[in-house]
Chains A and B, each alone.
Chain A
C-alpha cells in the first residue's frame, strides 16, 4: 500500500475537482502526475494504445488559464480522463483495437468526446479494447491484451479492459466505456472499479464506431460511485445527431449518489442470475452485500425472470447480425486498411475488399460477421434472427414484471473473478458466458451498474455486484451503489483498490 495523501493519482475525481476549484493544485500538475504514473506502470498494464501527453497538458494549461481569469468552469474542468478507442477523436488515432483502422485519425469528434472537451477534461489518451468491442478480456485486441492491475497474468475484462485497468491502476481517475453486452460492467467487476451502462439512448452514439446499434451504449468508468455519476452527467443528454437519443434531461445521478438513500427501497434478487454457475467467492460477497443493503434500510424481494435463460443465445444472434451489417463499411475504399490480394494481377475492387477484410479483421470479428451473415440469410432468418427478436421481447417483458415488485434488481456482475490470460481464448462459448448476467439489460435497454463487492476468498481477486433499474431511472443505480459503497468501504477500512498490488514496487 502506498501513501495516499500526497499522490494526486490516488485522489478521486471529486477530490481533484475540489482541489482544483480551491486553487490548491493546477490541472497541469494533476495531468502530469497521471502521465508520470503511466510512464511508471503502463509498460506492465498496457492500458493505453495512444498517450496524448502533449495535447493533454496543453488542454490542462488552458483550463488553468481560464480558471485564473475567473471564468465559470464545469465542476470536472481540469480533471483528466482516458477515452476508449472506439470513440472518434480529432487529432488522435481511433483504431477500435483493430488492424483495420491502424493509424486512422478521424476527421470528427464523437458527441461524447465533444462534451468531455467542452467540460474541460484533458484527454490523456486512447485506451485498449477487444477488436470492435467483441470480447470479454481485451485478448482480441490486435495490439495485445491489457493486464489486470490486481494480477498481471489475468484479464482486465472486456471489451473495455483498457478503461477498467486505466482507472484501477491509477493512471486516470475517469475513463469512458461502451457496453453492448457488459463491456463496461464486467471489466469493472474484475478490476474492483465502478462502471455504468446508462439507459439505451441516454448517451449519444454519434461518433462511436458501432458494434450492434440496438444494443450499444456508452457510459462512465471510475473508482467511486460519485465519480461515475459526475462523468455520467458530462456524457449524457440529448443529441440530435443520434436519432435514438432520448430527448429528456439526464437523470439526477449526482444528487442520488450524494444522498445514497435507500430506506424503504425494494431490491429484487433475480433468481435466474444467482446460484449455480457462480464462483463461491462471488456468491459469498454478493450475499454479504445484500445484508448490508438490508442494514441500510432496503427490503429484499425475490423475482423470477424465466426467459433470461435464453438471453445469451438471443444476444449471440442479434449482435452478430447487427455487427455483420455495421462492419460492412470496412470495405478498403474510403478509409481503413487496403491490401492487394496475393497472386492476382490487376485485382478488382471486390478482390481487394475481400483480401483487406481478411487481413484487417481478427478471428473473433470474422467469426461474428460470418455468424451474423448466416443468421440473416434467407431460409434461416425466421429460425434464428426472427426468433431471437421475439425472445428479446420476452426478456423485456420479464424486466417489466420484475419492476412491478422491485425498484431495482441486483445480481453478481460476472460469474467468476478475473481468469488467466489465454485460459478461454480457444473456447468462444466459454468466453461468451462471462456476460450471462449483463446481457439482459442490453437486450431490454435498461440501465445497469457494477461496483466492487469485495475479494473472493479462494483467489483474493475482486468481485462485482450489478444493479439494474427501469429505463430512464438511472439515478436509482446511484442511490443503491452509493449506499452499498459506503457500507462496504466502512467495513474494509478504505477503498478496495487500496489493497491492489503497488505496481511500481514490482519493477519491470
Chain B
C-alpha cells in the first residue's frame, strides 16, 4: 500500500478545496496514515467474484409525473446567500486576472 505523504495530503486538500494551514497538514498526515492502515483491512476480505453494493435497497428507475410543483421563490432561494444582487447569487471573480 502506498504511504501517504505530506505532499499527497496537500494535493488532496487542494482537490477538496480546503485551504489547510501548515500546522493542520502536519497533524493530518499522521492521523490519516493511521486511519488508512486500518481501513486497508478491506483488502483482506475474500471479495473474488463479489458484486459491489452501492445501495442497500435494490430500487431502480424511480420516476414521478412530469408536473409543475410549487418550488422556492427567488427570495427564499436567496435568503441564505452570503451576497446577492438583482435576484441572483453574487460571487467573487471566477476568472484569473491576467
State whether the Cβ of A107 lies closer than 8 Å to any Cβ in chain B. yes
Bound: A354/B92 CA distance, A: 13
Complex partner residue of A353 from B17, B21, B34, B77, CB under 8 angstroms: B17
A244 B16 Cβ-Cβ under 8 A: no
A480 CB to nearest B CB, Å: 22
Contact assessment for B24 and A107 in the assembled complex, using a CB-CB cutoff below 8 Å: no
Instruction: Give the CA-CA distance A316 to B37 in the complex, in Å.
Output: 11
Candidates A324, A366, A394, A428; contact of B35 at CB < 8 Å: A428
B86 within 8 A of A: no
- A203 sits at the interface (CB 8 A): no
Are the C-beta atoms of A366 and B54 separated by less than 8 Å? no
Are B18's CB and A370's CB within 8 A? Answer: yes
**Least CB separation from B8: chain A residue:** A374
Q: List 19 A-B contacts (CB under 8 A).
A: A214-B55, A240-B64, A313-B42, A328-B17, A333-B82, A333-B91, A348-B93, A351-B19, A358-B19, A366-B24, A369-B16, A370-B18, A387-B45, A389-B53, A392-B53, A393-B50, A393-B53, A394-B45, A429-B35
**Cross-chain contact A391 with B18 (CB below 8 angstroms):** no
Residues in chain B near residue A429, CB distance under 8 A: 34-35, 38
Q: Is the CB of B17 within 8 A of A331?
A: yes
B45 touches A244 (CB 8 A): no
User: When the two chains form their complex, are residues A244 and B59 in contact, meaning their CB atoms are under 8 A apart?
Assistant: yes
Size range of the chain A interface in the assembly: 35 or more
Which listed residue (A310, A328, A393, A396) contacts B41, Cβ 8 A? A310
Please tell me if B79 contacts chain A, counting CB pairs below 8 Å.
Answer: yes
Count A-B pairs with CB separation below 8 Å.
Answer: 183
B38 and A313 contacting across the interface, CB-CB below 8 Å: yes
Specify which of B44, B91, B96 is in contact with A310 (CB 8 Å cutoff). Answer: B44
In the bound complex, residues from chain B placing their C-beta under 8 Å from that of A312 are 38
Q: How many residues of B contact A (CB 8 A)?
A: 59
Q: Does B87 reach chain A (CB closer than 8 Å)?
A: no
Known: A332-B82, A334-B89, A391-B42. 11 other contacts (CB 8 A): A106-B80, A200-B57, A201-B56, A310-B45, A354-B14, A355-B19, A357-B19, A371-B32, A390-B51, A393-B51, A471-B57
Contacts of B21 in A (CB 8 A): 358
Decide: B31 and A428 in contact? CB cutoff 8 A.
Answer: yes
| Contact call A387/B47, Cβ cutoff below 8 A | yes
Residues facing A in B53-98 (CB within 8 A) are 53-57, 59, 62, 64, 72, 76-77, 79-83, 89, 91-97
Write out the residue numbers on chain A whose beta carbons fall within 8 Å of the beta carbon of B94: 348-349
> Interface majority SS on A: helix, strand, loop or mixed?
helix
User: Is A346 touching B19 in the complex (CB atoms < 8 A)?
Assistant: no
Chain A residues lying within 8 Å of B51, measured Cβ to Cβ, are 390, 393
Q: Tell whether, in the assembled complex, residue A373 and residue B16 are in contact, meaning their CB atoms are under 8 Å apart.
A: yes
Which residue in chain A gives the minimum CB-CB distance to B48? A390
**A-chain residues with CB within 8 Å of residue B53 when the two chains form the complex:** 389-390, 392-393, 396
Q: How far is the CA of A117 from the CA of B58 in the complex (A)?
A: 31
A393 contacts B52, CB within 8 Å? Answer: yes
Chain B residues, Cβ within 8 Å of A307:
45
A336 at the B interface (CB under 8 A): yes
Chain B residues, CB < 8 A from A396? 53, 56
A367 to B24, CA, bound (A): 10
CB proximity of A95 to chain B, nearest CB, Å: 12
- Contact call A370/B47, Cβ cutoff below 8 A: no
Q: Is the pair A394, B59 in contact by a Cβ cutoff of 8 Å?
A: no
Could you tell me if B76 and A107 are in contact, using CB atoms closer than 8 angstroms?
Answer: yes
A348 touches B16 (CB 8 A): no
Q: Is A335 an interface residue (CB 8 A)?
A: yes
Q: Is the interface of B mostly helix, strand, loop or mixed?
A: loop
**Docked-complex contact B91 and A366, CB < 8 angstroms:** no
A387 CB contact (under 8 Å) in B42, B72, B76: B42
Give the docked Cα–Cα distance between A446 and B36 (Å): 27
Closest chain A residue to B62 by CB distance? A243
Q: Which of B15, B20, B81 has a CB less than 8 Å from the CB of A373?
A: B15
Are the C-beta atoms of B93 and A354 separated by less than 8 Å?
A: no
- Residue from A328, A350, A386 whose CB has the most chain B CB atoms within 10 Å: A350
Q: Which of A246, A337, A361 contacts B18 (CB 8 A)?
A: A361
B39 in contact with A317 (CB, 8 Å): yes
**Given A335-B81, A348-B92, A394-B45, is A370 in contact with B57 using a C-beta cutoff of 8 Å?**
no
Return the chain B residue nearest A368 by Cβ.
B35
Q: Is the CB of B13 within 8 A of A370?
A: yes
A443 in contact (CB, < 8 A): yes
A20 interface contact, C-beta 8 A: no
Which partner residue on chain B sits nearest A331 by CB separation? B17
Given contacts A310-B44, A346-B93, A387-B45, contact A428 B16 (CB under 8 A): no
Q: Which of A201, A246, A354, A445 contacts B19 (CB 8 A)?
A: A354
Instruction: For residue B49, give the distance in angstroms from its CB to the closest CB of chain A.
Output: 9
> Which residues from 340 to 367 on chain A have a C-beta closer than 8 Å to any C-beta of chain B?
341, 346-355, 357-358, 361, 363, 366-367
A108 contacts B72, C-beta separation under 8 Å:
yes
Query: In the complex, what's the smallest C-beta–C-beta distance from B98 to chain A, in angstroms?
Result: 12
Interface pairs A-B: 4 shortest CB-CB: A445-B56, A335-B80, A389-B52, A338-B82
- For A337, the chain B residues whose CB sits under 8 A away are 82
Residues of B within 8 A of A348 (CB): 92-96
A313 proximity list for chain B (CB < 8 A): 38-42
B50 near A347: Cβ-Cβ < 8 Å? no
Contacts of B57 in A (CB 8 A): 200-201, 244, 246, 445, 471
